[in-house]
């Protein structure tokens, strides 16, 4: 992109301040800045300025779910259907490991965190140990796509190499880097980090599919005829990946998408809840749900909206290809953002802008339908979000021990 085109583009979106130091830059720095401007998605600032439409209105109803009781009866049928899909290479996993893990306060990729006590056991290592059970049952490996960010890509790849790809063949582990999005000030202006550098950060976990298919790794989807992608988060050490029962249940119901869910322990639990909104599946985050909806109960005393998501989803590839062109809503997290002002770097003490991201939960609505598949939370849900307390290293270790896993 040349200077004039960048200028026109920025004028159009009222972001012309990004070129204010252009004349001071070296030739290399100029072209670096222009290439970043070319890659910007300006819908991010428009979303904030235009105050996007309210997401939370409409008719809510409980989602169709396969409960633990249902699974007891149908286990064998689901299992063999799921195993067949894995054997025929139609299912791959996608590990979302591009997050910054700020709550954990650990200065390295979260998956490298040592969750062991008496031995070294990384989060990645434990998740791969979980996957080896499926590999054994299926008698074959499946492809694992690993999404990193430009901030942790090298370190993550290095860690996989040092650990011999956790026993998977090297060619079954395919890395790709997620895209970035700009930080905004409180008025929706894109921030500069340096005179030649826009303040960019990983664009949230919602961009995983567009980042994947535009990457070298993504070619494997069509080359290997992969039909289903099991997307999961790095921060659950009991995460069961490519679980044949989950795959079998979603497929046998003819769904485009499946979500592993756990029964909420109480109305206030901090998990997103899967439900229908105007007949379409949606996930209502714990900070968005009304207390009336959260605490509503059925005649038998169970919470009506009881299924919390654990960031383990199964997506049908051909439907993903249709929805990928549709824009996901942007989310804006107010943060303290160091930036450049009047040519000097400033370090605010109060939140001064927004980090921008799209979220995987918003993809569920676009998929048209989604089957909730209940799993036993004690066996499959040990999130590592914080250092101590709720959803922490401590609580995850306790659950690993409870499951008889040596740590
Ligand atoms: P979280 O929403 O917990 O974000 O990620 P985080 O960045 O890891 O942690 P905090 O909020 O800063 O403490 C849920 C999952 O989504 C992935 C994370 O790696 C995790 O597996 N993720 C998140 C990405 O892959 N990319 C992102 O930009 C954000």
> How far apart, in Å, are the Cα atoms of 102 and each of 24, 186, 352, 384?
35, 21, 18, 12
Count helices and strands (H / E) in the chain.
14, 20
**152 C-alpha to ligand 1 centroid (Å):** 12
Q: Which atom of ligand 1 is nearest to the CA of 201?
A: 28
**pLDDT of 325 above 90:** no
Look at residue 119 and tell me whether its pLDDT is greater than 80: yes
Least confident of 158-162, 237-241, 268-272: 268-272
Q: How many CB atoms lie within 10 A of CB 154?
A: 11
Both structure tokens of 212 = 């994947």
Q: Which of 264, 281, 238 is nearest to 372 (CA)?
A: 281
Report how far Cα 80 is from the mean position of its chain's Cα atoms: 28
CA torsion through residues 50, 270, 315, 161, sign: positive
Ligand 1 centroid, distance to 222 Cα (angstroms): 27
Residue 4: pLDDT band by 50, 70, 90 thresholds?
A: very high
pLDDT for 137 equals 97
Instruction: Reduce the DSSP state of residue 243 to 3 states and report it.
Output: coil
In ligand 1, the atom with minimum distance to the C-alpha of 386 is 13
Average the pLDDT over 304-308 and give the result. 97
Hey, whose CA ends up nearest to atom 20 of ligand 1? 233
For the cut 80, the answer to whether the pLDDT of residue 76 exceeds it is yes
Ligand 1 atom nearest residue 98's Cα? 25
Q: What percent of the chain has pLDDT over 90?
A: 87
Nearest CA to ligand 1 atom 5: 99
Q: Which ligand 1 atom sits nearest the alpha carbon of residue 234?
A: 21
pLDDT of residue 254: 96
Task: Tell me the two tokens of residue 384.
Answer: 């590592």
Cα–Cα distance between 104 and 102 in angstroms, integer?
5
Spell out the residues 6+ positions from residue 6 whose beta carbon is closer than 8 angstroms to its own. Answer: 19, 34, 37, 38
Residue position matching structure tokens 């044949």: 244
The string of pLDDT tens digits covering residues 153-180 is: 999 999 999 999 999 999 999 999 999 9
Residue 58 has a pLDDT of 80
Average pLDDT of the residues in 295-301: 95
Predicted confidence at residue 53, as pLDDT, reads: 45
Residue bearing tokens 């306790």: 398
Nearest CA to ligand 1 atom 10: 101
Residue 54 confidence (pLDDT)? 46
Q: How does DSSP classify residue 297?
A: B
Q: How confident is the model at residue 45 (pLDDT cuts 50, 70, 90)?
A: confident
Beta bridge partners of 95: 146, 232
End-to-end CA distance of the chain: 53
- What distance in Å separates the CA atoms of residue 313 and residue 311, rounded to the nearest whole number? 6
Q: Candidates 93, 99, 388: which one to mutate for ligand 1, based on the most atoms within 8 Å of Cβ?
A: 99
Instruction: Ligand 1: list residues with CB < 6 Å.
Output: 96-103, 110, 147, 178, 202, 204-205, 233-235, 311, 357, 385
Tell me the average pLDDT of the chain: 94
CA of 99 to the centre of ligand 1 (A): 4
pLDDT tens digit string along 177-201? 999 999 999 999 999 999 999 999 8
Q: What is the mean pLDDT of residues 345-356?
A: 94
Exposure of 203 by Cβ count < 10 A (0-12 exposed, 13-18 middle, 19+ buried)?
Answer: buried
CB-count exposure of residue 233 (10 Å: 0-12, 13-18, 19+) = buried
Find out whether 336 and 350 touch, Cβ atoms under 8 Å. Answer: yes
Residue 239 predicted with pLDDT over 90? yes
Contact predicate 380/237, CB 8 Å: no
Is it the case that residue 49 has pLDDT exceeding 80?
A: no
């Amino acid at each position: 992109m040349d200077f004039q085109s960048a200028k026109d583009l920025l004028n159009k979106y009222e972001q012309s301040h990004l070129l204010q130091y252009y004349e001071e830059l070296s030739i290399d720095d100029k072209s670096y800045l222009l290439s970043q401007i070319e890659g910007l998605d300006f819908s991010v600032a428009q979303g904030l300025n235009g105050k996007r439409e309210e997401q939370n209105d409409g008719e809510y109803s409980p989602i169709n779910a396969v409960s633990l009781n249902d699974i007891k009866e149908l286990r064998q049928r689901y299992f063999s259907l799921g195993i067949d899909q894995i054997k025929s290479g139609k299912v791959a996993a996608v590990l979302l490991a591009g997050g910054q893990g700020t709550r954990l306060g650990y200065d390295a990729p979260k998956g490298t965190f040592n969750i062991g006590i008496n031995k070294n056991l990384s989060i990645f290592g434990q998740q791969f140990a979980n996957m080896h059970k499926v590999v054994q049952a299926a008698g074959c490996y499946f492809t694992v796509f690993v999404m990193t960010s430009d901030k942790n890509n090298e370190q993550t790849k290095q860690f996989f190499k040092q650990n011999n790809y956790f026993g998977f063949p090297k060619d079954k582990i395919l890395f790709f880097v997620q895209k970035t999005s700009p930080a905004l000030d409180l008025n929706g202006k894109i921030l500069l980090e340096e005179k030649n550098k826009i303040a960019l950060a990983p664009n949230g976990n919602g961009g995983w599919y567009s980042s994947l298919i535009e990457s070298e790794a993504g070619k494997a989807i069509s080359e290997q005829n992969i039909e289903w992608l099991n997307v999961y988060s790095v921060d659950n050490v009991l995460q069961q990946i490519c679980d044949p029962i989950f795959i079998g249940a979603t497929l046998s119901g003819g769904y485009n998408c499946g979500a592993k869910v756990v029964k909420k322990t109480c109305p206030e639990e901090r998990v997103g809840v899967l439900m229908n909104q105007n007949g379409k599946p949606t996930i209502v985050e714990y900070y968005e749900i009304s207390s009336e909806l959260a605490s509503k109960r059925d005649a038998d005393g169970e919470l009506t909206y009881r299924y919390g998501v654990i960031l383990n989803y199964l997506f049908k590839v051909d439907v993903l290809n249709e929805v990928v062109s549709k824009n996901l809503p942007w989310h804006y997290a107010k943060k303290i953002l160091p930036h450049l002002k009047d040519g000097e770097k400033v370090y605010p003490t109060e939140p001064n802008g927004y980090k921008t991201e799209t979220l995987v939960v918003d993809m569920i609505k676009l998929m048209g339908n989604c089957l909730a598949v209940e799993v036993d939370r004690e066996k499959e849900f040990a999130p590592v979000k914080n250092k101590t307390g709720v959803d922490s290293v401590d609580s995850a270790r306790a659950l690993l021990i409870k499951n008889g896993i040596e740590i």
